[in-house]
Amino acid sequence: MEPHRLPSTYAKIKKLNTVCASLAGAILIFVTFAIFYDVIMRYFFNRPSIWITEVSTYLLLYMTFLGTAYALQQGVHIRVTFLSDLCSRRVQRIVSFITSFFALLFCAVLLWQTGKMAWLALSRSWTSPSLLSVPLIYVYSGMVFGAFMLLLTFVFQLILTPGGEADSGDLGKENE
């Protein structure tokens, strides 16, 4: 990919991450109301549902994986900086590079492992061991997509942002 096209490509990725985060929010609203409905049905009418617990569990995975890349792009991941704040700017950059390397390695392994699980679920026709018998490829493919978007966002941030740190503003602005 040509270097002058990287910022526009990253802008498209950021928009996709925003759509994914919005979808994760919509899923959260649905899960909240579904669980509320199940609680009412279970405790007041003694008629629990057979699907809400399982579906909510899968949707929780979708929320997590759909929202993680957006959280990274906005710079809202948890960071522990009390020790690095005591160091010089040069040492902070070295520590940032080392942690970024390990975070990138983690993202790559996460993508590899979720991809492996998705492939196994597809090739072996895995289904959930419940009454619903949900094909697990649907669950794992969402995890693969989320892990891919996280890795892609991380790579673009390392290449395009000053110091390799996440920023919530436009590219090229210095973090203060």
Give pLDDT tens digits for 82-134. 777 888 888 888 888 888 889 999 999 999 999 999 999 999 999 999 989 99
Tell me how far apart the alpha carbons of residues 10 and 26 are, in angstroms, rounded to a whole number: 24
Instruction: State the DSSP code for 81.
Output: -
Q: Which residue has the tokens 């498209």?
A: 12
H-run or E-run covering 69? helix 52-74
Q: What is the pTM of this model?
A: 0.83
Distance of alpha carbon 74 from alpha carbon 155, whole angstroms = 14
